[in-house]
Amino acid sequence: TQLLEQSPQFLSIQEGENLTVYCNSSSVFSSLQWYRQEPGEGPVLLVTVVTGGEVKKLKRLTFQFGDARKDSSLHITAAQPGDTGLYLCAVQGGSEKLVFGKGTKLTVNP
Amino acid sequence: KAGVTQTPRYLIKTRGQQVTLSCSPISGHRSVSWYQQTPGQGLQFLFEYFSETQRNKGNFPGRFSGRQFSNSRSEMNVSTLELGDSALYLCASSFRTSTYTDTQYFGPGTRLTVL
């Protein structure tokens, strides 16, 4: 059983559209991280959310941590081709061990 | 500050062979973690080294091993390669003490193909 379930698995949209991807679990977490991985590269940390209900914004990206700290969402406004990549959520699974969801592969077409 | 570097970037091996991958962490980072990424299983934790000691290990067979040197550089070794070992192997480094854990920074990975 996967600790973190991400949906959708694949998403292909046109430039300028909005989208939301989800990261869900039945477990409670003290914090949750979102990464973006571009082809041929390693994941890059976008944000860490810590408080239940917390909303963080990074330019056109809005991250929300669920009130119960079991789930999180990432909303992208007016997507651009540069947003293309694999979006991963992750939680700490014990000292230095990150546990990742399987990711949402986003393609933004010009 | 230079990022995490991994060598080689691409590697092709045949079943039964062994392979060694190298990771140089960000200067000043003493913790190095290794992950395996496959389309089916996603990113999975292999092990973590801190101050030349393995501190944490994932659920992988003993064919997967690693070590860390005094300059914090790390290597991982996979012996008796199987087709299923084909994956992107990622290394991540972080500044870590016994009571504090910082963000992990990932390298670009080594793409291993086993034929």
- pLDDT digits 0-9 by tens, B49-104: 999 999 889 999 999 999 999 999 999 999 999 999 999 999 999 987 666 667 88
Cβ–Cβ under 8 Å, residues A97 and B33 = yes
Q: Which residues of chain A are modeled with pLDDT < 50?
A: none
Q: For A9-103, list the strands marked E by DSSP.
A: 10-14, 19-24, 32-37, 44-49, 55-58, 61-65, 71-76, 85-92, 98-100
Q: What is the pLDDT of residues A79-97, one digit of tens each?
A: 999 999 999 999 987 666 8
For position A57, what pLDDT does the model report? 97
| pLDDT score, position B56 | 87
Given a contact cutoff of 8 angstroms between Cβ atoms, the answer to whether B76 and B21 are in contact is yes
Yes or no, beta carbons of B55 and A93 under 8 Å apart = no
d(CA B105, CA A43): 8
Token pair 């963080």 is found at: A56
How far B90 CA lies from chain A's nearest CA (Å)? Answer: 7
Mutate to test the interface with A, among B43, B45, B57, B74 (most CBs of A within 10 A): B43
In this complex, which of A40, A94, A103 lies closest to B56 when CB atoms are compared? A94
